[in-house]
């Protein structure tokens, strides 16, 4: 029965049959040499482009050949001693091969750093502040430029500023985990202090300001004038500065230009939503306007043309735009459709939304394992649909 239902849902089947689970592969499996033969021929025919460096970047760091060619112009070495010592340091401190590749591809010049005197002290500083080995690897692979900044003149003063503002190392560490790039801003304290004062002036409670900064520190990076413009716009939209949603709206508007906002409004309008509906949805859930135009179109198209709902569903429950279409919406809607076809449930918008919004463990327990006779097949099919 399940196979019949699965075959009867070609859209759902088509999306996932072609999707295989992500696997950890060696660097050369990520970038097979045969797929970039022209770039490699270029390397071999132009020895002045530091062919040893190019070869090392490809084989030891997972660079695509074209990227290796470009990086070799600025990161040149003739022996593996220095870069090997850098890679060894990262591996010995818990970095995965993937993280090392990402880090070096973002900032190839790190291979020329002194691992003991330049890189290690910064990693030890983060350890001393309570960051785990895994935390440090994630932070530095996300923002490798931190390793090029002065520990004494940039990293420590910035950390201490956040700690003085937030009162605890725990909250300071949360800020850095959420937005590692915040350590790269020069004179950040000027913007942050000014922007916090702007929020105080409009009546935002101190507790909400601290929570806002802790969880969305990137929202405080615009200069003072731009931040004030955003705050005024959010007020005009009807947000209450004493509520946490005010900060979420600031962060949403910070992340896009006026023209980008207008383009997204036009996408929603093409699906029949009015400007009032769009604004109401944004007030409920600011991420509604942060989603890309492609994601907006994909999600509405799925619910309208594959699930048979009206496009207004996204205005009624804008949280849908914060969910992954491939990893959450489609596989769970497949479970919903199967349950519906077997008579286990009746068509119910509220139930479907509860299924989509539930945490993974709750979803499996409440909506998959609940039906004993069907649970095994249902769970198996659901797991096969996950990317």
* Predicted local distance difference test score (pLDDT) of residue 248: 95
Q: What is the rounded radius of gyration, in angstroms, for the C-alpha atoms of the chain?
A: 25
* Predicted local distance difference test score (pLDDT) of residue 78: 87
* Predicted local distance difference test score (pLDDT) of residue 345: 86
Q: State the CB neighbour count (10 A cutoff) for residue 177.
A: 13
First to last CA, the chain: 23
> Domain extents for the chain?
258-385
Q: State the CB neighbour count (10 A cutoff) for residue 223.
A: 11
On the 0-12 / 13-18 / 19+ scale of CB atoms within 10 A, 40 is buried
Residue-wise pLDDT tens digits, 269-310: 999 999 999 999 999 999 999 999 999 999 999 999 999 999
What is the per-residue burial (b if ≥16 Cβ within 10 Å, else e) of 196-211?
A: bebbeeeebeeebbee
Torsion angles phi and psi, residue 277, rounded to 5: -60, -40
* Predicted local distance difference test score (pLDDT) of residue 375: 66
Residues of the chain short of pLDDT 50, as ranges, are: 1-49
C-alpha–C-alpha distance, residues 310 and 320, integer Å: 14
Spatial CA neighbour of 237 closest among 261, 214, 219: 261
- Three state DSSP letters for the chain: CHHHHHHCCHHHHHHHHCCCCCCCCCHHHHCCHHHHHHHHHHHHHCHHHCHHHHHHHHHHHCCCHHHHHHHHCCCCCCCCHHHHHHHHHHHHCCCCHHHHHHHHHHCHHHHHCCHHHHHHHHHHHHHHCCCCHHHHHHHHHHCHHHHHCCHHHHHHHHHHHHHHHHCCHHHHHHHHHHCHHHHHCCCHHHHHHHHHHHHHHCCCCHHHHHHHHHHCHHHHCCCHHHHHHHHHHHHHCCCCCCCHHHHHHHHHHHCCCHHHHHHHHHHHHHCCCCHHHHHHHHHHCHHHHCCCHHHHHHHHHHHHHHCCCCCCHHHHCHHHHHCCHHHHHHHHHHHHHHHHHCCCCCCCHHHHHHHHHCCHHHHHHHHHCCCHHHHHHHHHHHHHHCC
pTM comes to: 0.73
* Predicted local distance difference test score (pLDDT) of residue 42: 46
* Predicted local distance difference test score (pLDDT) of residue 50: 63
Count of residues in the chain? 387
Handedness of CA 266, 270, 271, 275 (dihedral sign): positive
Residues 6+ apart with CB under 8 A from 109: 74, 75, 148
* Predicted local distance difference test score (pLDDT) of residue 372: 66
Tell whether domain 258-385 is in CATH 1.25.70.10: yes
């Amino acid at each position: 029965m399940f196979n019949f239902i699965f075959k009867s849902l070609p859209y759902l089947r088509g999306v996932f049959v072609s999707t295989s689970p992500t696997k950890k592969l060696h660097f050369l499996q990520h970038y097979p040499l045969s797929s970039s033969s022209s770039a490699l021929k270029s390397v071999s025919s132009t020895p002045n482009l530091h062919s040893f460096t190019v070869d090392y970047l490809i084989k030891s760091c997972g660079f695509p050949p074209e990227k290796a060619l470009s990086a070799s112009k600025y990161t040149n070495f003739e022996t593996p001693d220095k870069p090997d010592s850098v890679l060894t340091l990262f591996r010995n401190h818990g970095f995965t091969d993937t993280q090392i590749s990402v880090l070096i591809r973002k900032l190839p010049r790190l291979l020329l750093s002194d691992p003991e005197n330049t890189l290690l002290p910064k990693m030890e500083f983060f350890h001393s502040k309570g960051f785990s080995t895994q935390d440090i690897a994630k932070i530095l692979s996300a923002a490798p430029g931190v390793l090029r900044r002065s520990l004494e003149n940039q990293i420590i003063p910035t950390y201490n500023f956040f700690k003085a503002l937030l009162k605890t190392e725990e909250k300071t560490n949360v800020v850095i985990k959420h937005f590692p790039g915040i350590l790269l801003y020069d004179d950040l304290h000027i913007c942050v202090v000014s922007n916090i004062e702007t929020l105080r002036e409009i009546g935002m409670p101190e507790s909400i300001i601290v929570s806002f900064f802790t969880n969305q520190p990137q929202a405080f990076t615009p200069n003072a004038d731009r931040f004030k413009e955003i705050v005024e716009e959010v007020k005009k939209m009807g947000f209450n500065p004493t509520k946490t949603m005010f900060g979420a709206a600031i962060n949403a508007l910070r992340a896009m230009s006026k023209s980008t906002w207008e383009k997204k409004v036009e996408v929603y309008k093409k699906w029949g939503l009015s400007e009032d509906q769009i604004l109401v949805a944004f007030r409920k859930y600011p991420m509604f306007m942060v989603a890309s135009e492609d994601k907006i179109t994909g999600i509405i198209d799925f619910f309208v043309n594959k699930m048979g709902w009206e496009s207004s569903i996204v205005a009624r429950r804008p949280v849908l735009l914060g969910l992954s279409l491939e990893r959450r919406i489609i596989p769970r809607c497949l479970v919903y459709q199967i349950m519906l076809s077997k008579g286990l449930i009746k068509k119910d918008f509220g139930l479907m939304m509860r299924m989509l919004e539930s945490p993974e463990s709750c979803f499996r327990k409440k909506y998959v394992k609940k039906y004993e006779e069907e649970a095994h097949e249902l769970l198996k099919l659901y797991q096969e649909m996950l990317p």
